[in-house]
Amino acid sequence: MSAASKPVAFILGYGPNIGQAVARKFKEGGFNVAVSARKLDGNAVKKEGYLDVPTDLASVDSIRNAFNRVEKELGPAAAVIYNASSWNNVDGSDPLANSYETFFTDVVVSGVNAYEVARLAKAGFEKLQTETPRAFIGTGNMLPWANLPFMLGMSVGKRALANIVETSAGAYGPQGHRFYFAHGVTGATGGSQLPPNAQAHGELCNYFNPTLNFSPEAIIVADVFYRLYNQTEQGAWEVCFTETGELYDRAAGRLASSA
């Protein structure tokens, strides 16, 4: 398959955990891969064979420029992964401690600007060959359904992301333009995999395996995302998966394989 004929995956929010794992998975699957973050090590990214697209995900203009560059150099993306989050945690007893500006940045990066990403992704999907699968996947968590006062800004952002995905899946999924909000749950209960406090959350997000450049958990996320992309139909917009990558039906309270 020539480079020009390969499908394109665009990962927004390329970091040392999920972002790197997802990029590697799609590259191994035969994709041309573009990655974006506010700060990128261009040499390292190019060494992996990716197109480096520095992007400030708090800026709509920067997001638009990023999509224009990807489409110009690689073509419209068939897989768009929104893996961005911003959090400035506070003491849970004082959830309004952050300035409005700090709160707003967390909200915008964690979810609101995913609206423009989804809009531009759909515009690109419409340019693809009919037989080419296409999907927008937002990296989610349980914040839309959990009350964690210490990270209010990120929580509001993820609720926005979930709403954007749910609405888009309903409107465009039947046309083959698929949208997902994918997040991990515990296999035993279907509850949140989020750690119980701000310190633990920071430790989790800062952890990575130095030999892999991403954690074992991130490999599971990447595998789930790749499977989602290759689905033939929309299915559920909210996709829950366990620590082992099994799909979980949260509404039914059981593993999907147990249905």
What's 80's domain CATH number?
Answer: 3.40.50.720
Range of the domain at 220: 3-258
Task: Give the chain's domain count.
Answer: 1
Alpha-carbon gap, residue 70 to 9, rounded angstroms: 10
Which long-range CB contacts under 8 A does 55-61 form with residues at least 24 apart?
Answer: 55/12, 57/12, 57/13, 57/84, 57/109, 57/113, 58/86, 58/105, 58/108, 58/109, 58/113, 60/113, 60/116
For residue 93, with 0-12 CB atoms within 10 Å meaning exposed, 13-18 middle and 19 or more buried, which class applies?
A: exposed
Residues of the chain with pLDDT below 50 are 194-212
* Predicted structure pTM score: 0.90
Beta bridge partners, 139, equal: 182
Instruction: Determine the longest span between alpha carbons in the chain, in angstroms.
Output: 56
Q: What is the pLDDT of residue 42?
A: 85
**Which residues touch 5 (CB under 8 Å, ≥6 apart)?**
none
**Which residues touch 42 (CB under 8 Å, ≥6 apart)?**
52, 54
